[in-house]
A = this chain, B = another copy of it.
Amino acid sequence: MEGPLSGYDLQQRVARNLGHFQHASFGALYPALGKLRAEGCVNTDRAGETGLAKCTYEITDKGREKFDLELGKTTDGESFRSQFLSAMYFADRLDGGDLERLVDQRLADHREQRRRLLALPLSSMTEGQRFTVRYALARINASIDFLHGEGRAIIASIRRDGY
């Protein structure tokens, strides 16, 4: 939707602009682009088959049509998987050092994600795009606040029991 892009650029954009709720690796992206090309949903500017040379992909009218159709059928699902919480669930079997490391890493990661989101050019985005950023920020801020308070508390508490 943002004009002709190379597969590489597309992946970078997904990571930068949608990274807070989606992920696309090259191994997933290129086969998908190939499939869409075969269906006539995207065109490439590649004339002669020169192998691995750069080419740009562009959505076609048919692609846009299909996109809107799929978009209307979207459900509201969300999936959250957390290795962090899996470990915290068994906090009483974890030693104090590992526990503290986990909480600190999670806090650092959330702060890094927040930095990334705050660096996005909000003013040049559509309303919907800004919405996703603010939604993600609201969740991340809640996580940070919680970890900052309760995280410290549980480390202290488990350590007390452990000794």
Taking Cβ atoms with an 8 Å cutoff, the residues of A that contact B are: 1, 18, 20-23, 67-68, 71-72, 74-95, 98, 102, 105-106, 109, 126-129, 131-132, 134-136, 138-139, 141-143, 145-147, 150, 154, 157-158, 161
Tell me whether B21 and A85 are in contact (CB under 8 A): yes
Contact call B89/A76, Cβ cutoff below 8 A: no
17 further contact pairs, Cβ within 8 A, besides A21-B86, A135-B143:
A1-B90, A21-B85, A23-B79, A71-B87, A71-B94, A74-B98, A77-B83, A78-B82, A78-B84, A78-B109, A79-B80, A85-B132, A85-B136, A88-B135, A89-B128, A89-B129, A139-B143
Residues of chain B contacted by A18 (CB below 8 angstroms): 85-86, 89
Task: Considering the complex, give the chain B residue whose CB is closest to the CB of A145.
Answer: B138
Give chain B nearest CB distance to A79 CB in angstroms: 5
Q: Which residue of B is nearest A107, CB measured?
A: B76
DSSP majority for the A interface?
A: helix
Q: Which residues of B contact A158 (CB under 8 A)?
A: 127-128
Contact A135 B128 (CB under 8 A): no
Residues of B with C-beta under 8 A to A126: 91-92
Report Cα–Cα, A3/B60, bound state, in Å: 58
Nearest-neighbor residue (CB-CB) of A110 within chain B: B78
Q: Give bound CA distance, A139 to B93, whole Å.
A: 25
